[in-house]
């Protein structure tokens, strides 16, 4: 995979974070595998990002609805 997915420390990079969340949720990849794809060498970083997305989903209904629709669409395309 080309490109560089990191952003400034402490900055919420929604597209990257959502991609990490979906990779873990839909594919069930290990934390290590997800971290390798996105250029992180610590499982704790991946866990932190996933928790951050979960917090944002609880806080912002619009984001939660977007992600639920995306998950539904992606899940259907897998069958």
pLDDT of residue 54: 96
Please state the domain extents for the chain: 14-78
Q: Splitting the chain (79 residues) into consecutive groups of 10 residues, what average pLDDT does each group show?
A: 48 86 94 95 95 95 95 86
Distance from the Cα of residue 10 to its chain's centroid: 15
Contact between 14 and 57 under an 8 Å Cβ cutoff? The reply is no
pLDDT of residue 8: 53
pLDDT of residue 3: 44
Helical pair 61-78 and 14-22, crossing angle rounded to 10 deg:
40
DSSP element (H, E) containing 27 = none
pLDDT of residue 61: 96
């Amino acid at each position: 995979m080309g490109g560089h997915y990191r952003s400034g420390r402490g900055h919420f990079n929604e597209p990257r974070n959502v991609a990490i969340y979906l990779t873990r949720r839909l594919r069930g990849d290990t934390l290590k595998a997800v971290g390798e794809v996105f250029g992180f060498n610590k499982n704790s970083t991946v866990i932190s990002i996933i928790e951050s997305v979960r917090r944002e989903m609880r806080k912002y209904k619009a984001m939660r609805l977007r992600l639920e629709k995306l998950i539904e669409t992606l899940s259907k395309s897998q069958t």
